[in-house]
Structure 1
Amino acid sequence: MTDNLHAALGSMSLEDDEPITLPDSPRFRVLEANKISLLGHLLNAEYQSMAKMIEYMPTAWTVYDKVLGIALSRDRFQLTFNVRKIS
C-alpha cells in the first residue's frame, strides 16, 4: 500500500486534473460565505474514510469550530472556513 500511495503522490499534477463541476444546488452554490474554502480529494478512497478526513483536517490546523466540511462525491470534499471566527 505504501508503494501505491507513493506512486499516486508522484503522479499528481495540477495540469492532469479535470475541473470539478458542482451541481446547481443551494448546497454547492458559490456564495460570499464560501469565498474561503478548499476543495480536496482522497488519494485512496477505497481505504480512506471521507468522514474521518473531514473530521481530522480542522483538528490538524487547530481551527475546530471554524470549518464546515462536506462530501461532494465518493472521493472529493469541500472545507469552508468561517472567516469571522478565524479573525
Structure 2
Amino acid sequence: MANIDKAIMSLSLDEEEDVPFVVPNLPKYCSCEKNVMSIMDRTLNPECQNMADLSWICQGKWQVYNRVRGVALSNRWVERPPEDYLKFMPVWIQIRNIPVNYYTEASIYDLVDIIGKVEEIAFDPEKPQSKDYVRVKVKFDVSKPVRISKAVILPTEETTTVWYDFKRIQKCCYNC
C-alpha cells in the first residue's frame, strides 16, 4: 500500500506543452480532389437523426447501391466555413388556400416572407391561374422548423388558413 501512495504522490499534474499537429501541404493529406463529385448533406435535427444511416437511405433513394460511401463529419466541414454555411437552402413552395380577393403579388410575397427570403414568385396576375396554388422559391433557413400552415386574419375579420407545401422535403417532423 505504501508503494501505491508513493507512486501517486510522485505523479506530476503539470501538463506537458501541447504542440499542435501541422497537416503537411501534400496531396495525400487532402481529400478535395478525390471528393470533387461529392454531395455534402446536413441533418436538420442531428440530436434525433442518425447520420450513419443516411448513406443507406440515399442508396435506396438514388438507386446507386454499392456506389455511395458516407462519412459522418463534424460540424466543421470546410477549413473556414462562414457563419451561415449550409444554413440556407433554396426551396420551392406551393401556397394553397389564398383567399380569392387577396390573390395578389403583394399578399403572396408577404405570406412567403413568413417562411424565408423570397427569391422568385411564379405568378403573373395578367395570366389565368390553372392551379389551386402559387409556386414560390424561397431561401429557407434550415435551422427553423418547416411551417405547414399559417392562420390569416382578413380585413373582414374572417380567419382562414393558408397551407405551405415544401417540394422535395420529405419526412417533416412537426413536433420539434
TM-score by length of 1: 0.48
The structure that has the greater radius of gyration is: 2
> Which fold has the larger relative contact order, with Cα–Cα distance below 8 Å and residues 6 or more apart in sequence?
1
Larger proportion of helix: 1
TM-score by length of 2: 0.25
